[in-house]
Amino acid sequence: MLLLYFFLTCFPIIFLFKLKKSLPPWATEVKLLSLWFGKDVSFSSVTKLIKTNSSLSYFTSKTSLKKMSLTSKVDNFEEEVVEEGAAMSILDLPELVLESILERLPPASLCSMAGVCSSLRSRCITDHFWEKHMKNKWGRIIGPVAYREWQWHIALRKDSSHLKQGRPKGLMRIFSIVRPSWWIKPKVDDCSKQSSLPRESIMSWFLALETGRFCFPAQVYNRENGHVGFMLSCYDAELCYDQRTDTFQARYPPHGRRAVAIENNVPWERLREPPVDTSPHDLHISDCLNELRPGDHIEIQWRRNKEFPYGWWYGVVGHLASCDGNENYCRCHNSDSVVLEFNQYALGSRWLHTTIDRKEHREEGNEGDGFYGGIRKLGSDEEISTWKRLWPAEILE
């Protein structure tokens, strides 16, 4: 009886041991790989390894089973894995795997990877990886106007040696004539830190924005910290980003004899990309006048006098005095006169409303009430909701 018990107990162990010897060599390797990949290898751990070791050897090319000793207890055995061959570098990864890793890196990590070796640098500085970062962070306030400014900035840097000598030549001389003088900073950027980067690359542009070395044109809602004289308006400014505070410095063009106004700590939510490619000193040509109907949301250019630049002011199209506002009988859209209302102002205020000519509208106004310029109709709910979010807490006089 005791012999039968011993046989039944030991037979499964002996059977499994012999079965293991009969398996092909690759079976043990598959087992070892399955044990390896069963570990917690997340993307973040791979990224951490990439940052700390450029030679990245997180698995081996060949493994083999050296010995296995069987003791009296089945679960007490040891395996020793011996590496055969050199460690695998990150550059040995399949191209799609490496690209997938790089696509998921944040900008700071992508810059670190670019400093590992020339092969990784050539990959990490390509526009393919930086287009997403540019769009995600800067896409809402960077547009064609800012891009054109960046192209001018590159051209000025190429010709900066002439500026240092005090004798502008070539493109530098042309741009100094055609560009507004308030828009150009007197200092020349130190390009030594980015001398190895292609100047036209998106990475170079992104880093110039992040570090504040490149100031760009955009528009600011409720300028000068929400000054009562600028409520529900949007003015052009030159913006410079401050990484420490995650805010901007805004430099507004001079108003008549006033010097350049500077506002610090402007938050992201008060900024936007210029909706039209029109200089703040030029009249915008309106193309929506025939479409305007009561209830439409609009922005209109306005300036205090003709020495001032235009700002964009929010308003709505109202009804004519002869109309009772009944939609069934309203014919205001057929009239040549269009009433514009600015309901942030109190009843009786001279700024509450104005009337323009639908067919022959140009700049209208006087030195007392200011001058009204071009009009653009707001077509998106996002633009309208932004203006409503900025609505003043109290009615303006």
Give the N- to C-terminal CA distance of the chain in Å, as an integer. Answer: 109
- Those residues with Cβ within 8 angstroms of residue 239's Cβ, 6 or more apart along the chain or in another chain: 141, 215, 216, 217, 218, 220, 248, 249, 250, 251, 266, 271
Question: For the chain, how many structural domains are there in total?
Answer: 1
Amino acid letter at 135?
K
- The encoded tokens of residue 38 equal 């069963």
Does residue 4 lie within any of the structural domains?
Answer: no
Does residue 348 lie within any of the structural domains?
Answer: yes
Amino acid letter at 240?
C
Q: Which pLDDT score, from 0 to 100, does residue 89 have?
A: 80
b/e sequence 228-253, b meaning 16+ C-beta within 10 Å:
eebbbbbbbbbbbbeeeeebbbbbbb
Q: Which pLDDT score, from 0 to 100, does residue 255 have?
A: 73
Does residue 379 lie within any of the structural domains?
Answer: yes
Q: Which pLDDT score, from 0 to 100, does residue 160 have?
A: 65
b/e sequence 254-266, b meaning 16+ C-beta within 10 Å:
bbeeeeebebeeb
Does residue 218 lie within any of the structural domains?
Answer: no
Does residue 321 lie within any of the structural domains?
Answer: yes
- Domain encompassing residue 366: 289-390
* 286 touches 376 (CB < 8 A): yes
Does residue 347 lie within any of the structural domains?
Answer: yes
Does residue 3 lie within any of the structural domains?
Answer: no
**Mean pLDDT rounded to a whole number for the chain:** 76
Q: Which pLDDT score, from 0 to 100, does residue 197 have?
A: 67
Q: Which pLDDT score, from 0 to 100, does residue 193 have?
A: 44
Beta bridge partners of 165: none
Q: Which pLDDT score, from 0 to 100, does residue 21 have?
A: 42
- DSSP assignment string, 252-317: EPP-TTPPPEEEEEE-GGGEE--SS---TTS----S-GGG--TT-EEEEEEESSTTSPPEEEEEEE
Q: Chain centroid to CA 276: how far?
A: 19
Those residues of the chain that have pLDDT short of 70 are 1-87, 159-198, 256
pLDDT tens readout for residues 124-181: 999 999 999 999 999 999 999 999 999 988 888 776 655 555 555 444 444 343 344 3
Q: Which pLDDT score, from 0 to 100, does residue 245 have?
A: 97
Query: What is the Cα–Cα distance from 351 to 233, expressed in whole angstroms?
Result: 13
Does residue 168 lie within any of the structural domains?
Answer: no
Percent of the chain whose predicted confidence (pLDDT) is above 70: 68
Q: Which pLDDT score, from 0 to 100, does residue 26 have?
A: 33
- The encoded tokens of residue 280 equal 């703040």
pTM here is: 0.69
